[in-house]
Chain A
């Protein structure tokens, strides 16, 4: 795998002087980028993943990344390509979605690998919203051993609206089997109209709440959830379900799904508090 590293030193801002833009060609013609915030080598590196169709520049994510860097943690904030070369903008719901959860998980693996290549052997995966789901999907497969912990903020399943998930899954599977390439317009997450390939959509639709709970229960690393008490994007009873599963979880009172405003600090505090509980990485 060829890794192309671009280091752009921006001298104007002192903070920027500790950041790198990293790009990797995830698939032929598809290059994805990430920002690497240099931290203390003694602290575990944080791989912070944005939410559904967002980028690393999403405010909640960007703020959290800066806060973690300020706390001395090296932070890698990738932007999933979603099969778009050098994607830099949040992808519109109505855009052609050629990506799948498998692609996302693969890219997460690539970024974990990149951190390892940078000497980080203690990696904590932190995700927000759908990014928490994607990281959990990564953990459900064969996560790298360097991954030590998982923090999911505003974890949410792949919502499909009012559509019956089994029927949809069956339909999509039928299309996949039939190699039908026509785009499927389906509600997904907050997108009421989400044109996607059948296999791409199918990869997401499988991740309902049950799948999430299962993944959480079987997570190979420690799990910590940070949920907003005022997250109205969640299905009713989701937090309760998580609590019933005795999933370690911090609930930020009054916080919405995006933990915006003052709740960004709450998110940071809970994240830092959990990171501090993680054993420092062993030196090589």
Chain B
């Protein structure tokens, strides 16, 4: 049996009461048992007494009958009737009673002649046998039509010496009345006395008692004793029960309730549910409990003060945690919590919901142009304007950077558009010129709406608003787009297009992405140094080029997913072993992906191929990098595992010079537009040439992209650019074809020279210290020269 760890005071009280009741019940049962035993004994004694007195009564009756018979037998008049029976009826009906020979009204007498014949017929109501029954015994009983008759026969002689038999006498007695009329039956219940005798059956008198049934009178004293005892026990039980109940009530009121209340208060305090305003409970009657109550009350008051203070602090912390420090509006955490709560509320209160996503146009340019401080100020003004434009209960959330969002409840698409237009109007009217910003600061707003009967799609609203927002950003738009309405045309090109389908299928099935490898040649020898992995999508047998699907990737904000798919495919190619050892691979990676931990994690995993295939990351669209510090950290991390970092498309709007300075870049790939300038003998070509030379001298390894003519190639070579890439030197080819071509070409010509390769690393994974040192020294010299 397992005992509970602890039991309540109420259980103890109930157990005590139960035990008490059990004890009383046992005592009562014992008393009742003893009483019953005494009662049974008394009843047995009573029955014995009844039996004795009944036996005595029967015996007395038989003796009386016998005595009467003897008297009759010796009575002169009896003899006279047997001799001279003329007046027998007078004797039978009168004399025997007058003389006192028969002193019972239940007795009758008859005389029989010596021959056994009745002297005279007996009356109908009191018949005697016409002939003396030949019964052996002198007395017997007969059931005559339900009445028990006792017969006693006796001989009558002529004198005391019995010399001659004169005849017989027969006494008939109504047995039961004669027996029961005796006033000696005190213990027997006369109504219960009966003789088991069948009609006509004859029973010898000596066997009479065996057939006699009876019951004893209940003993009045015994009944009185039982009644008194029962009442006493009942009264005792009631008194005890009442006392127990009162005791329990007092116990409950004085001890259990106060203790329970104190326990509840302590439990509540333990679980932080204490009442900040504890009522002034009445004083307890038990002094020890009163002391505890007072102490607890004082403790509660102290806790209340402490709780109030902590609540204020928590509110402040909570507010701060949900507030964007820069703009004062709600931050992303608040957005996520409120959005979850709002969606739950919609389950019970369906309503039309609009999700508005705001994005500042050209904010990065402003930020880059006017500095972060003014950029922050712009964001604050935008936030203030949006808060003013929104309805009273609407909340504005800053999701990150220059992206804001809000969701409008109980609204319609038209109302949402009105709110968006009001936002734009207030932004347009904002005084950005006071900050010295001359460019117009615009706001693109994407709206997604979900009707009350379509709330199952509520989770898609942020994505739809995102798409709408990018639709709004497209040139020619009025910068407000409602998903489903304004994105209808865009959906035809972005969502429902063949490229989109191909892209999504490729992301779902990685095997659809094929990597084509384009050789990058070292200059001036023009030998293959490494290969750039370029993604293609095999869709229904056709090869889809990046120009077709990259806009979809961009518009759908699927850069990370796409880059992850590319990395998987490159990993698969490298793991296939088709590429010979030493063949370096350069992989393109969008600026958005490089800040995603899962991408970095995959890159770290991919670095296991670094021993056989030197790896390079080409960061595209670096201008979209918003978290410069994190990205630099990640790139440094990747460099430690022998990745080389290249800035792709340098010279275009996506690769500002600032990022070249801030990021740990090893290789700079000149955009094809810059490379094409080299082929022209003009000032632009001269600038590019000088810049390339300066970059080379600063230690950056340069790669010229898009070299398609011999003229450009010669110019590139003349500028000392280390690598060139373009259709002139080689087109991208599938892995199998590349592997086949490498297998046909002798190894020294086909494989890059690991030692002179731009992918070359020191054994510890660092860049070539001589090259870095050289680049740093030259950079220093250049800065000094510029300073001079």
Contact = CB atoms under 8 A, between A and B. Distances in A.
Contact of A85 (B83, B86, B98): B83
A183 interface: yes
A24 to B, nearest CB: 13
Interface in B689-739: none
Main secondary structure of the interface of A (DSSP, over half): loop
B87 A85 contact: no
A32 to B, nearest CB: 11
Interface centre among B82, B90, B99, B160 (most CB of A within 10 A): B90
Interface stretch (A59-67, A88-96, A252-260): A88-96
A96 B87 contact: yes
Nearest to B88: A96
A186 interface: no
B77 interface: yes
Contacts of B95: 94-96
A195 B90 contact: yes
B79 A86 contact: yes
Given A31-B159, A195-B90, A85 B79 contact: yes
B76 interface: yes
B166 interface: yes
A251 interface: no
A178 interface: no
A29 interface: yes
A83 interface: yes
Given A94-B95, A96-B87, A96-B90, A85 B160 contact: no
A56 to B, nearest CB: 14
A86 B86 contact: no
From B75, B82, B91, B159, residue with most partner A Cβ within 10 Å: B159
Contacts of B79: 84-86
A30 interface: yes
Contacts of B83: 29-30, 83-85
A206 interface: no
A81 to B, nearest CB: 9
Interface string A196-227: 00000000000000000000000000000000
Given A95-B95, A96-B90, A96-B91, A84 B159 contact: no
Contact of A94 (B80, B99, B161): B99
Most chain B beta-carbon neighbours within 10 Å: one of A30, A85, A92, A98: A85
B384 interface: no
A87 interface: yes
Contacts of A83: 80, 83-84
A88 B160 contact: yes
Interface size class on chain B is 20 to 34
Which residue, B76, B84, B90, B161, has most C-beta atoms of chain A within 10 A?
A: B76
Nearest to B90: A96
A181 interface: yes
Contact of A183 (B90, B160, B166): B90
Interface residues of A, number: 22
Contacts of B76: 84, 86-89, 91, 95
A87 B158 CA distance: 9
A169 to B, nearest CB: 22
Contacts of A195: 90
Contacts of B81: 96
A98 B86 CA distance: 10
A155 B83 CA distance: 32
B90 A31 contact: no
Interface in A74-129: 83-89, 91-92, 94-96, 98
Contact of A84 (B77, B86, B98, B161): B77
B93 to A, nearest CB: 12
Interface string B151-194: 00000001111000010000000000000000000000000000
A84 to B, nearest CB: 4
A133 B723 CA distance: 200
A33 B158 CA distance: 12
A96 B78 CA distance: 11
Interface string A23-43: 100000111010000000000
A81 B80 CA distance: 10
Max count, chain A CB within 10 A of own CB: residue among B75, B81, B83 = B83
Contacts of A98: 80, 84, 86-87
A92 B97 CA distance: 13
Contacts of A95: 76-77, 80, 95, 99
B98 A94 contact: yes
Contacts of A29: 83-84
Interface in A158-213: 181, 183, 195
A85 B91 contact: no
Contacts of A87: 76
Contacts of B90: 96, 183, 195
Nearest to A27: B83
Interface in B79-135: 79-84, 86-87, 90-91, 95, 98-99
B87 A183 contact: yes
Contact of A181 (B75, B86, B158, B160): B86
B114 to A, nearest CB: 11
B113 to A, nearest CB: 12
A10 to B, nearest CB: 14
A91 B75 CA distance: 10
26 contacts: A6-B161, A30-B83, A83-B83, A83-B84, A84-B79, A84-B80, A85-B79, A85-B158, A85-B159, A85-B166, A86-B160, A88-B76, A89-B76, A91-B76, A91-B77, A92-B99, A94-B95, A94-B99, A95-B76, A95-B80, A95-B99, A96-B81, A96-B95, A98-B80, A183-B87, A195-B90
Interface of A: 6, 23, 29-31, 33, 83-89, 91-92, 94-96, 98, 181, 183, 195
A-B pairs, 3 with minimum CB distance: A86-B159, A29-B83, A84-B80
